[in-house]
């Protein structure tokens, strides 16, 4: 049966209000061409069944169960989580914002028609959003599994067009939304760190004071250590393996430097300074370890633990094993000085990277919502806010002015394909790796550029969601001075190792300089891994 060429006046009027002319013309041309083509009845029946099978995510939950049985647990969980989030955004937010009528049933050949069509708004396609979100989420954890799932997801998305449940723009919009939600989820919840890819040997091996029971070790535990991720209480492991260590659990009112300075005045002065927390706490303790010329014991207790992973102590047990053996590395760090409105600068140790632009904006927004929503939901809100309202920043480097989306300064050379260099890739590379994303591309691509990790970057580049290479400037040097100008609404912030500096008014100058062989850290040499 050939489709009707008549256009229903109400459908045409509603779609004219919703979509620009070129999209409506594209939808009409695609629908007319598809419905005019003959398809074998078995093929029509297959697409109908596939479309129904994907109702309410049943197909994806079944595939997730199979992935679990095959040992791809993380891929299955990320796929389901991405699917759930994309479905909620598509059906509860996007459809209400955009809506639109579905294709006319009279235009669809009888052999392709479903027994029952949904009554919800047409744009975007929820089936397509769920399919793309699941496939992208799986690919972010397991590229091989993602490559197998992707054709199934593409078939489901096409089936919605074949059976006449959606227009072409609905399907394309759903695919874009679903993939975007999965990628944003990767920004908030990091993918698993593989253990089969050793990092290059970096950092000079050094012998450090050994302690198999914690004698002489002073450990400060962040009040939120272990709370932002699903893991057992880190203090349980610390107390069991280091019974003679002094473990200080910080309250929210205490300041780390005051706690450590008090400990250093005690009769039994610590020989080792340890910290259990995220990158912000680790970098603050690193500064104190340098000041008191003591080795640093890093006990990962945060969400990302970038420095701990770079040093090969991604777990508590690995860090404690290195302490017991007295093995460590001498690593490079950077000193960051921030001068505001002519005031005197204050030096801060940077272990991984510092950043100006869209990433500090994201961190500030997440911090705003964290108490009410928790870190993960606050991160999704912050990413959504960035997609809607992120603004470029004006900077000056060496007298050269630029309008940018982001500036990342990494300690040591980093992955050449990445823009957001949040985890360092070397420990004794005595240079700063600078990445500037100029504000010539879209806000959406700028937000996508915050994704870190080679897997994520590869998927985003394959989907053409990353900024153009011509918009990215990269170079290395041993020191950098950057002047950050004021913005129409608020002063641009600056982050270092995940910690936010948010000047209230005016411009400021930031100076960062590499410091070779500046910190001794416990590490099982030869075991570092990269993500």
- Identify the pLDDT of residue 9: 46
More confident residue, 186 or 18: 186
Distance CA 309, CA 282 (A): 12
Mean pLDDT of the chain: 80
pLDDT, average across residues 288-314: 90
Q: What is the pLDDT of residue 404?
A: 94
Rounded to 5 degrees, φ, ψ at 245 are -75, 150
Predicted pLDDT at 2: 37
CA neighbor of 393 nearest in space, from 424, 371, 360: 360
Q: Say how many CA atoms lie within 13 Å of 514 toward its Cβ.
A: 21
Q: Residue 320 above 90 pLDDT?
A: yes
Q: Which of 68-72, 127-131, 511-515 has the lowest mean pLDDT?
A: 68-72
The percent of residues in the chain predicted with pLDDT above 90, rounded, is 31
Please list the alpha-helical segments (H only) found in 403-464.
443-448, 454-462
Domain ranges across the chain: 9-188, 204-332, 337-515
CA distances from 180 to 90, 100, 132, 375 (A): 12, 22, 9, 19
Please provide the CATH number assigned to the domain covering 9-188: 1.20.144
How much is the pLDDT for 190?
Answer: 54
> Does the pLDDT value for residue 20 go beyond 50?
yes
pLDDT band at 95; cut points 50, 70, 90? confident
Using a pLDDT cut of 70, give the percent of the chain over it. 78
This prediction's pTM: 0.64
**Is-contact 352 307, C-beta < 8 A?**
yes
Q: Classify domain 337-515 at the CATH topology level.
A: Tumour Suppressor Smad4 (2.60.200)
Per-residue pLDDT, 186: 72
Whether 358 and 403 have beta carbons less than 8 Å apart is answered as no
pLDDT at 3 over 70: no
pLDDT at 192: 53
pLDDT at 246: 93
What is the torsional sign of CA 87, 91, 97, 101? positive
Write phi, then psi, for 508 (nearest 5 degrees): -155, 165
Reply yes or no on whether the pLDDT at 528 is more than 50: no
Average pLDDT over residues 150-177: 82
Q: What is the mean pLDDT of residues 466-486?
A: 92
Q: Which helix or strand (DSSP H or E) is residue 300 part of?
A: strand 296-300
Of 180, 6, 24, 161, residue with least CA distance to 100: 24
Quick: pLDDT tens for 24-71.
667 777 666 676 676 677 777 777 777 777 887 788 888 887 777 676
Query: If you search the block for the tokens 């980093």, which residue do you land on?
Result: 414
Identify the helix (H) or strand (E) that includes residue 161: helix 143-162
pLDDT of res. 11: 45
Q: What pLDDT does 226 receive?
A: 47
Q: Check residue 4 and give its pLDDT.
A: 38
Looking at per-residue pLDDT, the higher value among 325 and 226 belongs to 325
Residue 229 contacts by C-beta under 8 Å, 6 or more apart in sequence?
302, 303
Q: Confidence band (pLDDT; 50, 70, 90) for 318?
A: very high
pLDDT the model gives residue 5:
37
Taking only Cα atoms into account, the Rg of the chain, rounded to an integer number of angstroms, comes to 27
Helix (H) or strand (E) segment spanning residue 178: helix 168-188
- Listed residue (363, 320, 314, 355) closest to 336, CA to CA: 355
Please, what's the b/e burial string for 61-79 (b: 16 or more CB within 10 A of its CB; e: otherwise)? eebbeebeeeebebbbbbb
Any idea which residue has 């939304």 for tokens?
A: 177
Residue 237 Cα to chain centre, angstroms: 28
Q: What is the mean pLDDT of residues 399-421?
A: 91
Residues pairing with 432 in the sheet:
411, 477
> In 10 A of CB 399, how many CB atoms?
6
Q: Is-contact 109 1, C-beta < 8 A?
A: yes
Judged against a pLDDT cut of 50, whether residue 472 lies above it is answered with yes
pLDDT on residue 453: 61
Mean pLDDT of 211-237: 76
Fold exhibited by the domain 204-332: Rossmann fold (3.40.50)
Whether 367 has a pLDDT exceeding 50, the answer reads yes
Least confident stretch, 72-81, 104-113, 391-400: 104-113
In the prediction, which pLDDT does 454 show?
Answer: 64
């Amino acid at each position: 049966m050939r489709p009707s060429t008549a256009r229903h006046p109400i459908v045409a009027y509603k779609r004219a209000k919703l979509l620009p002319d070129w999209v409506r013309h594209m939808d009409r041309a695609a629908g007319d061409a598809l419905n005019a083509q003959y398809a074998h009845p078995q093929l029509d029946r297959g697409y109908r069944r596939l479309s129904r099978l994907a109702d309410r995510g049943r197909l994806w939950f079944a595939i997730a169960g199979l992935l679990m049985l095959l040992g791809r647990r993380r891929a299955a969980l990320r796929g389901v989580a991405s699917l759930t989030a994309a479905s909620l955004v598509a059906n509860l937010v996007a459809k209400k914002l955009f809506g639109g009528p579905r294709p006319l049933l009279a235009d669809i050949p009888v052999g392709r028609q479903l027994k029952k069509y949904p009554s919800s708004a047409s744009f975007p396609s929820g089936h397509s959003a769920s399919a793309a979100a699941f496939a992208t989420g799986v690919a972010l954890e397991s590229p091989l599994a993602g490559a197998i799932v992707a054709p199934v997801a593409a078939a489901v998305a096409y089936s919605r067009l074949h059976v006449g449940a959606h227009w072409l723009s609905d399907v394309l919009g759903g695919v874009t939304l679903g993939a975007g939600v999965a990628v944003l989820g990767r920004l908030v919840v990091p993918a698993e760190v593989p253990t089969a890819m050793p990092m290059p040997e970096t950092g000079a091996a050094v012998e450090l004071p050994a302690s198999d029971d914690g004698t002489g070790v002073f450990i400060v535990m962040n009040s939120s250590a272990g709370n932002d991720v699903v893991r057992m209480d880190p203090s349980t492991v610390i107390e069991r393996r280091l019974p003679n260590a002094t473990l200080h659990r910080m309250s929210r009112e205490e300041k780390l430097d005051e706690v450590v300075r008090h400990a250093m005045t005690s009769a039994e002065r610590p020989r080792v300074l340890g910290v259990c927390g995220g990158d912000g706490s680790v970098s603050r303790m690193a500064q104190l370890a340098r000041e008191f010329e003591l080795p640093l014991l890093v006990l990962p207790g945060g969400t990302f633990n970038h420095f701990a992973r770079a040093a090969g102590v991604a777990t508590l047990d690995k860090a404690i094993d290195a302490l017991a053996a007295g093995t460590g590395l001498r690593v490079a760090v950077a000193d960051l000085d921030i001068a505001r409105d002519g005031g005197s600068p204050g030096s801060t140790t940077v272990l991984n990277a510092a950043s100006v632009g869209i990433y500090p904006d994201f961190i500030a927004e997440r911090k705003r919502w964290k108490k009410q929503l928790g870190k993960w939901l606050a991160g999704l809100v912050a990413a959504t806010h960035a997609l809607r309202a992120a603004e470029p920043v004006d900077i000056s480097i060496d007298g050269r002015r630029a309008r940018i989306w982001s500036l990342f300064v990494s300690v040591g050379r980093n992955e050449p394909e990445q823009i957001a260099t949040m985890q360092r890739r070397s420990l004794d590379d005595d240079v700063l790796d600078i990445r500037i994303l100029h504000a010539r591309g879209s806000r959406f691509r700028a937000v996508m550029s915050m994704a870190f990790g080679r897997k994520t970057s590869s998927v985003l580049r394959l989907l053409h969601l990353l900024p153009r290479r011509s918009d990215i400037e990269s170079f290395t040097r041993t020191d950098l001075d950057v002047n950050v100008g004021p913005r129409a609404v608020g002063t641009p912030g600056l982050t270092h190792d995940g910690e936010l500096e948010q000047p209230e008014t005016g411009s400021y100058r930031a100076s960062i300089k590499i410091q070779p062989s500046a910190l001794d850290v416990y590490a099982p040499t030869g075991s570092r891994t990269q993500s």
